[in-house]
Chains A and B, each alone.
Chain A
Amino acid sequence: MEFQTRQTGDAIEAHLSGRLEFTDHDRLRDIVALLETPKARRFVVDVSRLDFIDSAGLGMILILQEEAEQKNISMVVRGPRDDVKRSIDLAKIGEIVAIEG
């Protein structure tokens, strides 16, 4: 998994690409660190360029959600498509995390 960061106003965006999978826990720390950005109130995890996610990757989304909540930052997962959308739907992640088309 690779990611790029953007900041617009009080929103931090992480644009993920490639595959988010069980070998990526080391990279998660770098994304969690974005939540330390001063004045951040919203956190957008853009997955529209993510091609694949496994159950460990779904767990990472939930970790991000909890880390954001602890800092009073609202998180949204944006743009899941194809296989990524299927995994999110099958695991009912939308019941826990805000998903934005």
Chain B
Amino acid sequence: MEQSLKRLHPFILAFDLYKLIKGNIIFFVFIFLLNMGSDKWWIQTAKWLFLAYVVIMLFVNIGKWLTYRYEIKDNAIYIKSGIFLKSEQTVPFLKVQNVQRQTTVFHKIFKVTSLTLETAAVGEESSITFDVISRAEAESLERVVTVTYEQQVINELTEAELFEEQLVEQEPKSEKTTHFTPTKRDLVKASFTSLSFLILIPIIFKLDDIVKFDTFADEVTDALKWGWAILAIVIIGVLLISIAIGMIHTFIKYGKYEISSDTQKVYIKKGVLDESIFSIRKEKVQAVEISQSLMKRLLGLAEVKLISAGNTTIGEVETNTLYPFLPVHRAYELISELLPDYQVEESMHKLPGNAFWIRMIRPSYIWLIATAAIWYFKPSLWWISLALLLVIYVSRILDFKNSRYLLNESFIQMKEGGFSTTLFITKRSQVIEVKAERSKLQRYFNVASIETVNRAKPVHHNKLIDVPHEVANEFYRWYMDRKHEIKTQ
């Protein structure tokens, strides 16, 4: 019994040490390097305390490693851990919503990786993370999860279906196909869209302080004739450098993107230095979101996100984004390639004219408060109030123009947004509850708001305001029909 329990890869100790050093580097530099020769009593004490802390942490980490054991049993992963406070955790594979793998530079050096199995539960127990694990072990764990799901599907089939299934099985099983990797052209486009070269602007301002461009400018006027040439060269030089830096930045972030899929799962791989792979079973995708910032709309690019009920971030980085700079049509194509179940219609219904007028008269509380504040504190800045009003109205008009909806058999599509837009697509069976609202004002204009709730972390509410009142009714009926398409246990 004890034999079958496995420990994590011993390199975890090196990883923990690395994290310990990284976490305390500022403190370390402060007391050991900046105050090297100091014999102040408190520096001395801090040095000893710090050393004691490091030593204790080393032992704690060893203890953690020794006590952390896991095994695979009955289609679940079972974990025993804790030095003093023992804890046991069981996660059935069928509860896994998505799998994340992160291979940082550190992992690459030691030829290992990390693996996280995400479930839809809340709290600390919602996921299992193996910070350091051999690549073979990570592969095999992921395979076990996949096999468990396959088994479940087979169990559900009746014998007749099973027979058919076996016939289908005769055909060669489809391998992983790659759907998208950015070309050089895509990357160049991306580096312009993300405006990452603008990071140089603050640096130029700093430079301005140091070099004193003003005096330089005087000299330029003195020697106008060839001064212009210098100025032009400087400007072009700065521009080129900033574009180059922007491209390097983009390349590191988006260079090694790869979107692939097999019959069951979708894989999103990204990152040049720290590499991450997000994988999700197709039927676990709760919804798809296509978003476009103003810049992306101008360039015809879009970002597609697969919404999962499990966590989709590693640290700050979102891992569930298909490439964020996809040409719009390619984005739509990609969705139907990756998720054959999903039917995305590009033509949707516009909002009725009433929706325009209601948006024109709806009070803007932000504007009222801002205006009151300006009027009280600095009436001379009255034009800000006017500008704000203009921005709000332009945004409202754009929002009216951009808003679309469609109830397409078992799918719903909702698009909204003023300057930047999002299109949300989900299946009726994935919607966990719905809401329809009508305020007094909306009642007068014969419009209503509809809202879907989907599983995600945090729970995803998607609301579209001012659809025709009849559509809200239809939406409600549409949702009631879900009972025909769900399977109960």
Q: Do A and B make up one complex?
A: no
Chain A interface residues toward B at CB < 8 A:
none
Chain B interface residues toward A at CB < 8 A:
none
